[in-house]
Amino acid sequence: GENVEQHPSTLSVQEGDSAVIKCTYSDSASNYFPWYKQELGKGPQLIIDIRSNVGEKKDQRIAVTLNKTAKHFSLHITETQPEDSAVYFCAASKGWAGGFKTIFGAGTRLFVKA
Amino acid sequence: NAGVTQTPKFRVLKTGQSMTLLCAQDMNHEYMYWYRQDPGMGLRLIHYSVGEGTTAKGEVPDGYNVSRLKKQNFLLGLESAAPSQTSVYFCASSSLPGTVAYEQYFGPGTRLTVT
């Protein structure tokens, strides 16, 4: 069935280093790829997204790249800060009967050490 | 703007008991969703609604029912709770999918334990 694989499951970096989280999706019809940040005790919050007609998108320290041929997309966080510590989820979405079908990755727990 | 709110925040049920989780949004969104989140797994869609009075099944609908009597509210019901329904439940809402403004806004979650 359709799935999204996310790696790594845990990532620990030093403050100021970069962090990269990778996802692979199976459904070639997916055309919208959001990334969510979930802090402890809170719901996921969208931090960046990319659509299938774009290869890269950047927002300050966060960037996302998409390779549709390989069905692979990645989140890049530069100059990491302790407040970046959270669980990050990728997702792949496509239009579906009556709505939008979204499949989430299992999440990456990011630790930024001060 | 409160965004998406959920009640209750925590609940413990015994097997066989029933309960209703309430989700409310003040963003005038047509689409609303119920997800469950289990350790080591991504969010999985239980049911969703594309407008007042309409509901549809998601990926894992068994054991749950929903209702959308008002545009701003989306209720999730467990008729006879089972330990397998122990999870954190998230409600979300969004504008029309596929548009530039599309984004899912999530509530803070309800942690449910079934003993």
Residue B65 is inside which H or E element, if any? Answer: strand B64-67
Question: By percentage, how much of chain A surpasses pLDDT 70?
Answer: 96
How far the first Cα of chain A sits from its last, in Å, is: 41
3-state secondary structure of B83: helix
pLDDT of residue B40: 82
pLDDT of residue B1: 64
Q: Which residues contact A102 (CB under 8 A, 6 or more apart)?
A: A34, A91, A92, A93, B45, B104
Q: What is the pLDDT along chain B (115 residues), one digit of tens a residue?
A: 679 999 999 999 999 999 999 999 999 999 999 999 998 888 999 999 999 999 999 989 999 999 999 999 999 999 999 999 999 999 999 988 777 778 899 999 999 999 9
Q: Which residues contact A107 (CB under 8 A, 6 or more apart)?
A: A6, A9, A38, A87, A88, A89, B40, B42
CA distance A44 to chain B (A): 6
Q: CA A41 → CA B79, B90, B114, distances in Å?
A: 26, 11, 19
Q: Tell me which of A102, A104, A108, A109 to substitute to probe the interface with B (most B C-beta atoms closer than 10 Å).
A: A102
Size of interface A-B (CB pairs under 8 A): 60
Contact A43 B92 (CB under 8 A): yes
3-state secondary structure of A45: strand
Q: Contact, A94 vs A100, CB < 8 A? A: yes
Q: CA B89 → CA A81, A82, A96, B52, B58, distances in Å?
A: 29, 27, 23, 21, 14
pLDDT of residue A98: 61
Q: Which 8-state DSSP code applies to residue A20?
A: E
Q: Contact, B15 vs B82, CB < 8 A? A: yes
Residue B22 is inside which H or E element, if any? Answer: strand B19-25
| Chain A residues close to B50, C-beta within 8 Å | 98-99
Q: What is the pLDDT averaged over residues A56-63?
A: 96
B10 touches chain A (CB under 8 A): no
Q: Which two tokens stand for residue B73?
A: 């509210």
pLDDT of residue B15: 98
Q: Which 8-state DSSP code applies to residue B95?
A: S
For the cut 90, the answer to whether the pLDDT of residue A2 exceeds it is no
Q: Contact, B94 vs B61, CB < 8 A? A: no
| Chain A residues close to B103, C-beta within 8 Å | 34, 46, 49
pLDDT tens for A14-56 read 999 999 999 999 999 999 999 999 999 899 999 999 988 889 9
pLDDT tens for A99-111 read 678 899 999 999 9
| Chain B residues close to A34, C-beta within 8 Å | 103-104
pLDDT of residue B85: 97
For the cut 70, the answer to whether the pLDDT of residue A97 exceeds it is no
pLDDT of residue A68: 94
